[in-house]
Structure 1
Amino acid sequence: MSDLAGRCGTCGAFTRVHDHPTLGKVGECALEVFPPPLKATATCARYRPRGAPPPPPRPRAAGEPRGRGAAPPVAVVRRQSTTSAAQLPLPRPSLPTEIDIDMDIEEFRRVLREVLSEEFGHGTAEMGKRWEGGEVVLRPGKEGTAEKKIALDAFFHKIVMIRDKLRVLEQRLNAHDKLTDAEKVQLQAYITACYGTLTTFNILFARREDGFAGSSGKDDE
């Protein structure tokens, strides 16, 4: 499959492969980045060769249990309303604290975050704790002009929105039935270049894997 190098056909997330009568070799994306059937020649910035190790888990926070420790309690928030107590929804049961599969709990959480993020079309990225309450200061070089300050949480929200819109654009591009494979690859290269440019802002993310990855899968600033 040398002609599929860097494409979905050789990605570790490409599963349930079979031959389609008109589309050729197709399969499904385990991360659900694209809906099935997914052509083997499609491309994605989240490509990872088969056998490549997964991204390292986020550092354990102070006081957080190791490995398969107990999950934090789920807080149930009830809004005030005129609804009677009998009509109020029952609190959801807490998630199980043990996973009966051969996977580390941190790896399971990482995969679950990716699946939910792609399923609902929006990110759940968290900003690093050290940036909370900070601000971006735009200081002009011309004397006598005022500087502009932007709250970092608002700035970070805009960065995450750009990331999510690029992911949606990738989905629409690969599902487009009027473009040839060569055209899709060419347009995908521009999207990947955008990811590479935006890796400058990866420093703001609490988890490195939530940020941007360029053409090499690393920070291509």
Structure 2
Amino acid sequence: MFTGIVEELGEIVAIERLTDSARITIRGPVVTTGARHGDSIAVNGVCLTVVDDKVDPEAATFTADVMRETLDKSSLGALTTGSRVNLERPMVLGGRLGGHLVQGHVDGTGEILARTPGEEWEIVEIALPAHLARYVVDKGSITVDGISLTVVEAHDASFTVSLIPTTLALTTLGVKAVGDPVNLEVDIIAKYVERLGTHGPGTGVRAS
């Protein structure tokens, strides 16, 4: 589980493309501190598993295997050597939840439609896949490339977010252009509410 608070901008240093997967090596001095084989790290909002037998702290890189399903259904398939990516380690139990509950399971991809600069911030409009529109509401939470953001306005086929200078400086949304793809994860609570509203609460089993 993640919070959507990006810890650092990492860099893709190598990509080995295989028949039905890819092996990606990413540089990130912060997230590799203390990282071990089997640990999870969110890369642009996608939860990946460290496959290195031992993470070299001097190289400050980690390697992850990405299956074809993930490459096809997220923006990770468009990454190239040198691409910048948002990185976050899982939240620590008992730690502060600075953003919102993020699973690292991408629900779909969107596309940046427009960027409107303001005096201190920037409004970004992002295309919204039809099957996700019902989960996105004004002032609700959404994860864009692993960044926990608040929806300004929700439309049938798009939504807008307001980016403060810190987000522009420290995440990929500061450099992404109109037409670039982004990973989207809607609020998990919205999906549970829909499920309960459709099927009703379960009967449960009383423990004896």
Alignment TM class, shorter chain as reference:
under 0.3
Higher helix proportion (structure 1 or 2):
1
Higher normalized contact order (CA 8 Å, seq sep 6+, divided by chain length): 2
Higher strand proportion (structure 1 or 2):
2
**What is the TM-score normalised by the length of structure 2?**
0.25
Q: Which has the larger radius of gyration?
A: 1
